[in-house]
Chain A
Amino acid sequence: GESVGLHLPTLSVQEGDNSIINCAYSNSASDYFIWYKQESGKGPQFIIDIRSNMDKRQGQRVTVLLNKTVKHLSLQIAATQPGDSAVYFCAGNTGGFKTIFGAGTRLFVKA
């Protein structure tokens, strides 16, 4: 079946360093990918998205890379700050109403 998975359940980085969170997916038909950030006790919030006809998209301090050949995407956070501490989910969508979520990576930022 379809799956979207994250490589590491936790990631610890030093404040000011760059963070890279990885994600793999199995469904080649997925044409839209989204990264969400979830802080403790709250609902997920949209960070950045990317369509399958792109391989890179940049936002404010965040970059998403998509490698369709190996079905892999990553979220890069520049100059990681304590406020970036959260669980990050990648999600894939085939254009309909069903979005498949990965298990999430918890990012810890050390001061």
Chain B
Amino acid sequence: DGGITQSPKYLFRKEGQNVTLSCEQNLNHDAMYWYRQDPGQGLRLIYYSQIVNDFQKGDIAEGYSVSREKKESFPLTVTSAQKNPTAFYLCASSRQNTGELFFGEGSRLTVL
């Protein structure tokens, strides 16, 4: 079955450590996205990528980094520069320039 796989589902890290969240899709979608979700809030865009080897900052990119070396993969690194990294992180993909997003199951990061 086609879909988006995020891993790990739960992650605990100490303050000051970088952590990388994985996102893989087999939907053959060109565009991929990372969103952050906090309690009681909507999803906020961190980074997005329209095509391999290209990505753009979203609304809250500070303290995060991404890469897009393969069409199927769009990993997100939460760096120590991110002031409040504890959150639920959602990866999504879409066909080129269409609105419908296909989401993964999310990764919950807790920084202790």
Please tell me which one of the listed residues B33, B40, B103, B106 contacts residue A45 in the complex, with CB atoms under 8 A apart: B103
Please report A residues at the B interface, Cβ cutoff 8 Å: 4, 9, 32, 34, 36, 41-46, 49, 89, 91, 93, 95-104
Q: Which residues of A contact B40 (CB under 8 A)?
A: 9, 103-104
User: Of the candidates A34, A98, A102, A104, which one forms a contact with B45 in the assembled complex, judged by CB atoms under 8 Å apart?
Assistant: A98
Interface presence of B25 (CB below 8 A): no
B101–A104 CB distance below 8 A? no
Partner of A34, one of B33, B44, B99, B105: B99
| B90 A43 Cβ-Cβ under 8 A | yes
A37 to chain B, nearest CB (A): 11
Whole-angstrom distance between the Cβ of A81 and the nearest chain B Cβ = 22
- A-B residue pairs in contact (CB < 8 Å), sample of 18: A34-B101, A36-B103, A42-B106, A43-B6, A43-B90, A43-B104, A43-B106, A45-B103, A46-B100, A46-B102, A89-B42, A97-B48, A97-B94, A98-B48, A98-B58, A99-B99, A103-B42, A104-B42
Known interface pairs A41-B106, A43-B106, A97-B50; A34-B100 also in contact (CB < 8 Å): yes
Residues of B in contact (CB 8 Å), total 28
Residues from chain A with Cβ under 8 Å of B84 in the complex: none
B59 to chain A, nearest CB (A): 8
A4 near B99 (CB under 8 angstroms)?
no
Which residues of the other chain, B, contact A41 by a CB distance below 8 angstroms?
105-106, 108
Verify A95–B97 contact, CB threshold 8 A: yes
Bound complex: CA of A99 vs CA of B33, how far in Å?
Answer: 10
Give the 4 A-B residue pairs with the shortest CB-CB distance, closest first.
A43-B103, A101-B42, A93-B99, A101-B43
Q: Are A46 and B43 in contact (CB under 8 A)?
A: no
